[in-house]
Every structure is written in structure tokens, then in C-alpha cells.
A and B are shown apart, each in its own frame.
Chain A
Amino acid sequence: MKKTIITTLLGGMLLLPQFGCEKFLDVDPAYTQDADNFFNTPVDYERALTGAYDLMQGSFMSVWIGEIASDNTIAGGESVTDTKGLHEIDDMSHVAVNQELRNVFRWNYAGITRVNFIMENKNKIDFQGKDKILAQASFLRAFYYFELVKFFGDVPLVVDKRLGADQVTTLDRTPKAEVYKQIESDLTYAISKLDWTAAEKGRITKGASTALLGKVYLYQDKFDEAATTFQTLIDQNLYTLIPNYNQLFTVANEGHKETVFDVEYTGAEGGSYGCLICLEGNAGPGFQGIRQYNGPVYGDGNSYNLPTKNLYDAFASGDLRRDATILDIDAFIAKQAKPADIKYAKGAGGHTGYYNNKYIKRQTEIGLPDNDLTSPVNYKVIRYADVLLMAAEAYARKASPDENKAKTYLNLVRKRVNLSDVTSSGQTLVSDIWNERRLELACEGHRFFDLVRTKQAASSITGFVAGKHELFPIPQVEIDLAGGNWKQNPNY
């Protein structure tokens, strides 16, 4: 009897899953989309693509590092422990434990993963316009990988698939050359599918793809390819230098003819410090704003990324770009109606008396609270002046230089700000182009990478150790999380 009962009980328990009870446990999340049954309509592809664009909004971090690491700016901020990673980079004392470098690493891979999610499913359905979506996605992947290569050199190359957690430990760092090959191939695909212009503001175009490809060539010292690529773009006559240099970065003037490729931001969504990558606004202008400022024109901010005297003095006295680039705060206040009423604070993270006047919080360009984080000002990744200067450099440095073309493009940039033509040649011309790049593009996030690329970093940056600081260290925690097998960059 007992045996029968026990057998029945055990039997019953064993069979529990079979009595239709399995269905009882099949609970679907209500009204929610699942990653594995997506990509059923063209709209699904569109939306996944929008998700892949999102990570470009983390560009403010690359811009900070690109300037702070160079001779252009110092880290600034409230104290030296306020975003300590930037202060260490400023000092060239940065090590593999650095939250800001880790953000660059992780955010760009998040963007790549979102692109790969689309690519993994690219053959699921066919529809008209799919190639344009895939082309934009390819561009984005190239952009994210290019950021990674600029910062870290060799990085693991993952293409067209998502990885499982245990697959990461089998990855190694892919040689830079191979990553560049992928970047070039993605950009070439984008160029082949996209139109020169896009109806929608903020969309990647063939123009943007071409400009980025030229830049990628330039970073590999492939001057011939770079020159050809830039020439193709210039010949399209799509872009011009806008007359007023002061109007380049204003919200009101957004989308002007000099914009080749920008990252879009808005002030229409609030934000908090808890998640900077979640912001829809640009964190740059607020962080770079004047600390505790209460006067006209500008808003108050966090005094990050402050231009140095070295940069201020680099401008010739008649160069109108100096004041457009650098705000001399004391001089500005002195010129106001009631200077005594205007106050601001010096951050203990450093004070130079100068602020970044290109990307700064202005009272007419304020987003929702916390408005230090929600600036609507777009970040200009590539503008036409940059294209012209890159083209000039490519022509001046290619195996058989075309110095006339180089000078033409260089002088176009100078003419806009009423400067006289450069007439030099040879290495002097190359140096003149480099110097023009610094002045024209100061505080836009290019300087450190230009110095490294042109091998001027050791002579320009205090504390820069050749053979070490050309690359940033791979964040130690990322090495650990990937199984500890990656070799760190030299001398870290």
C-alpha cells in the first residue's frame, strides 16, 4: 500500500511537466519585442539602425581626450579627482586603470555590436532600400572601429555576428592593419550605396563616408589614396566654407554648407550624471562651461577642457579664429556693462583663464535640466575646412607631391579668415599645413591624434614618452574580463 502511494507520488512528480503544466510556465513578456524574432519588417531594420547611430553621441569623451592629452587644453574641472582619468591623461601619467578610456572602449564596442546585430540578420527579409540601411550601418561600424584604432591600436575585430559570453575569452587583439582593412571595406561599401546628400538631417551620406575614408587613409600615411579620395569629394562641390567663422558651431546655423559629418544632439530630453552615454544632449558644452558663472551670454558649467596659454599664443594677433576658439573670461567680463556684478569660480582642477569658445554653454542654447548635460549643440566630426586641410596634407606628403594643389586648399582655409596666402614648399609647407590644422581645428578633438600621427607628439606634449604614449593602454579590467590573454600596449 505504502509502496503504491509512494510510487504514485513520485510518478506524478516526474510527470508534472507532461500534464500540460509546461504550458502553464510558458509566460511571455507582455507587449515586448524579443531580440530573436525581430527584423520582420523594413521598419524593424530602420529602428535597429537608429539604435546603432545612438553610440555616436558618446563622441564628447573622445573629443575631451583628443584635446586634453595634447598641448591645446588642460583637464580642468572641480578638482583633480573630478574625472580623475582625464587629469591623468592631461599629466601623461595615465595608466590602464582609467574610467574615461574604458568608456571609449566600451561605448564604441556597444555601437559595433548594434551594427553587427543588423548584419547578422541582413538576409532575413528583402525590401527596397535595405542596401541604404546596411550602407549606413557599415559606415557606423567603420566610425566606431576607427575610434578604437586611434586610441588603442590593435583591437579585437568582430564582424557581422554577436558573440556569446564565453566566446570572448578566445579572442585576441587583431593587428591594426586588418582592422583598417575592415574599416576601408565598410566605407567603400557605404560609398557605393549612399547618395551624396540625404533628405533627413543627421543621416550619413556618401559625402561623409568619402571624407571619413580619406581621413582613414591619411591616418595610415596612404597619401595617394587619401588625395584621390578627398579630390573626389571636393570635385562634387557639395560643400563650401561658410563666410563667418564665428557661426560655425551655433545651433541656429546647424546644417550649414560646411558640415560634412556631424553627431546630432538635442536639448529636448533631460539627463543625469548617472549615465552619460544615455544622454540625448551633448555633454561637452556644459562641462566646458564657465564654473559658477552668473553673467550675460554664457551659462554656468563645469570648467572642463580649458585652452592653454600655449594655444592662445599660437594664434597670430590678427587671426580672428583666436577669439572664436578661446574665450578669455576676464577680458570678456571687463568689457561688459557692470563687470563687478559678474562672478565666476576657478575650479581647483586647474584654471587657465581661457574657455573653449567653440563648444560652450550659451544662454541661447540651453537644454532641459540638468542643462550641464543636455546641450543641443551638434559635434562637427568632419567639416569642409578639415577636408581641405587633409587634402592639402595628402597632396604635400604623397610620393610625388602636388604642392600647388596643397597650397590652393590650404589658402582657401586661410582666406576665409582674412589671412595671407602661404607660399612655402617642401617640409616647411607640410609644417605650415600642420600648424594651420592646429589653429583652424583647435578644441575640436583632433589635436592629440594629429600630433601622434605626424610624430610631433614627443616634442609638443610635456611628459609624452615616445614608444609608449602614441597609444592609450587597453583598460586593465577589459583585459581581465576577456580572459587576461591580451598583451598590453608597450610600456604600460
Chain B
Amino acid sequence: MSTRIVVDPITRIEGHLRIEAEIRDGKIVDAYSSGTMVRGFEIILKGRDPRDAWAFTERACGVCTTVHALASVRTVEDALKIAVPPNAELIRNLMFCAQYLQDHVVHFYHLHALDWVDVVSALKADPKKTSEIAQSISNWPNSSPGYYSDLQKRLITFVESGQLGIFANGYWGHAAYKLPPEVNLLGVAHYLEALEWQKEVVKIHTIFGGKNPHPNYLVGGVPCAINIDEANAINAERLAYVGTLFDQAADFVNKVYIPDLLAVAGFYKDWGAIGGGLPNYLAYGDLPMNGYGDPTKFKFARGAILNRNLGKVHEVDGRDAQEIEEYIAHSWYEYSDGDAAGKHPWAGETKLKYSGPKPPYEHLDVEKKYSWLKTPRWKGNPMEVGPLARMLVSYAAGHQEVIDIVNATLKQLDVPVAALFSTLGRTAARGLETVLVARWAKEFYNQLLANIKNGDTRTFNKDRWEPDSWPAEARGVGMTEAPRGALSHWIVIKDKKIENYQLVVPSTWNASPRDPKGQMSAYESSLIGTPVKNPDQPLEILRTIHSFDPCLACAVHLYDEKGRYVHQINTF
């Protein structure tokens, strides 16, 4: 017999996501992923000034803030043939790095950790032992027995207050939690430390972009001017601030995040064989060392991997109408020429057409349309995007730093290469690339200082700023790697206005519904085979879905095979 469960809302994500899954004999045999919120950005952008598009699209996501702004300015620059000055490229890289550092750490501790760390178990920990464990894996200073003992007291007081706040109704005590109480206490301590730390590294955005979330970008460069002899510009004080923040970030990543990640992973090695899903991976690559126009000199490589064949990296071209296409066979949209065909984003259409059940509803009609996400495909293939895809593509492309860190980690955890293709692999890849990004940030930072020292302070190219200098019609594509994966925008400019604008975002690749051929996208595919010990507490679903770091809100409810709420028996 099978049980149909629904998780809605899926929490600890950005946005609104719903998962419906079919469970038989303790394992998921079918799964459906639905985005349940839409805003219509592509419709709103029509007719506007292309130079404003970054601000609109930046608001697509406030968790991975900046990434849409970056994709957008690149899209417009591609259309108008604008090359930005080297300093602007470097400052964009620094903002990119700051975003990864903040976002990945927050994901690990605040969005993902509670899937592995049992907060209630931490109440039973021996703080002295926690201290010994902490000191054995890292020389991070906050590690004395007294530190953990104080924290534990604070936790006990919190629980005894009877108001559990964000920790209420967690799956505490679930059999799938395997960490000893002492490691759980360590996890809770760093949950709180990371919460305080994350507000620091984003100040790099504030220095260059004026605020965070949602710092300012600019078509043609960056808005901040450099003048080392002026209080009102990027000067030595501002640059020193940036350097210190990156040093502190690298410290936190190397002394807290990575030791914790490896310690926790050691207890959950079985998750190296769960949640693999699709065998195809796509990365647009990013962090240009020689300008955005030269993808061969990106820190993160561009390319696609099919069937987990790491011996071959396929080239990816966003301009080729045959490569990236979006389908709506199972999405609440309609195309002017029917719902079966795929459309390249330059010819993309966005017409909302809801055909799902009238709310309140208990379940979606998954045989028909069931999501607000379109379904993108690369040469017809469903692709996983994100940290794992980035690391695999760079690994396969022969990037030595990536190869070294991946191999060293596999060896340290004593797991085979195949363990990469899993829930654990995804979570580990995110940590490893954070180490690299922290390292690369300092390279870009030193390069920026060297440029300024050599007298180059340019941050903006004004040649095609004025609309009078634009062609009557132009098309562009801008690509980047959001923390959550490959992100691209496409624009068609006509008569100095936006004629068409399309976004294909990481969670569209990963969380989309099936395509017309019935092929699943990454979330759905990765859930197949995932064990669920207790359908009323589907902790395992959260682990795999959170390993992607979803950028939309999920919701989960439990149904039996007739679609009846199972959970009604234990509520109210």
C-alpha cells in the first residue's frame, strides 16, 4: 500500500514550495514539486528602461540578493555591447564572493542544520565533552566548557519558558537524527554564532552598493567611484574594511563551517547514497579573471555534464535557440502556439493561466498543470544546477583547485567518488566551494588594490549609457552562478525599451514540474528512493529538498492514498 504525503509549506527556504510524494514500503516512489506563488516580473518589465531592469529583477530574491542584478546588468551590456572596466568586474566579483560566503553559511546553519541537528538532544549534552570535541576539530576560540555550559543554560531556560518559538514542533527525537548530544550542542552554538556573524560579511555589499539586502548595481560598471584622496569615495579606509571583512569570513568558514560540516557528515555517510536524482549537471560558470567576455578564464567553469560522465564537458551557449528552452506542459501558463513546444527565452512568453483546483484545496491535479514554475531543458535534457553542478563541471573541466579540494574531502570522509551524486554530496559541495570563494575573494581584492596602485580607478563605461547611442533593436543574454545555481536573463530591446525579458532561475531548473515527455526535474527525481521512516514526520524529504537550498517556499501536508489528510488525526 502506498501513502500520498504533502509537505506544504516547506519551511526554511525562500518562497512557497509544496511537495507531494507517494510512499511505498518506507520509500518515496513518486514525487511532485509545485511552486505556489507567482508575481509576474516578466510582464511588469515590458516597456521599461533596460537600465532599470536590474533593480526590478534583484527583487526576485532577497536571500540570494545581488545575483539577479548581476545577471541583469550583464544581459543589457551584452545586448548593447558594453564592456565594463576591470575594476567594475573586480568589484562585482567581490560582491559575488561576499554573497556566497553569507548565503552558504546561512543555508548550512539556519536553513539546513536543523535537518541533521536535534536541538532538544543538546539539552542532555555534557558541555565539557562538547568542548573537547570542538577543540579537537578546530582552533576556533569560542570552545571552552564554560562557553557551552552557559549556552546550554540559556537553551534550558528557553525551553522551560514554554514558548519554543522557531523550535516549536520540530521533528525532535526522530530516529533519523544520529548526532550525539554533545555534537548537537556544538551545532546549536554555531547556529547562534553564525546568525551573528552573517550580518558582518554583507557589509562588503554596503560599502560598494550602499545597502544589503539589495545593494545597487549599474549598467556599464558599478555605481561607487574610487578616489583614494577623498572621504566621499572608495578610499583606503573602505578598502581596508573590505579586506578585514573577507579575512574574518575566511576564518569563520575554515574554523567553524567546514569543521562542522565534516563532523556532521561523518555521522550521516549513508546520505552519500541517497538523493542523487538527475545524472545531468549544468553550470554557466562565473568569477571572470579576464572579463565576463572570456568564459575560458572563469574560476567556476562553464559547461554541462551528461549521464555523470566526468570525462566530457559539453559547451553551453545561451544564444543558441536549440539549447535552452522552457516548457509549460505542467505549468499554469499558456503559449500563443500551444502548450507542447519549448521556447527559447528570446522568444519566450509569459501569460498566466491558472487551471489548478480552486483554493482551499487538498491536493493538486498532478496529471495536468500543477506549478507556477516553467520547465527549462538543455537540449531536451533535465539538468541539476547548484553547488554540486558547479563543482562537478569545474572538476571535469580540470580546474586544479577544485580537483584538489574534492579529492581531499573524499579521502578525509573515506567515501567513494559516487558519494558526490547525493544529498550529502550536494551539501558538501556547497561547503567546499565556500572555501574556494573565500580564497578567491582575496585574489580579486589584491588585484583591485594593484589596479588602483597603478593608477586605474575607472569603475564605469559611459559610452553607451545614453539611449541615443543604442541600436533600434538589440538582444542580450546575461549569465551568472547564483549560490543556488545557474541563473540567466534574456532581453530584447526595441526602441530603447524592454520588448521582452525572461528569467530562467536556478530553482526553475531544479524545482520545476515534469516536461511534456514526462521527464522529472531535479527535486522530483532526487526524492525517488528516499527513505521515509515516519510519513507523519517526513524529515528525510526536508533533508534532500533543503540540500538544493530552494529559492521558493515549500509546503507539505500528509495525505493517504485517497488524498485524505493523514495528519488530521493528530492535530486539534
A and B are partners in one complex rather than unrelated chains:
no
- Chain A: residues with CB nearer than 8 A to chain B? none
Interface residues, chain B, with chain A CB atoms under 8 Å away: none
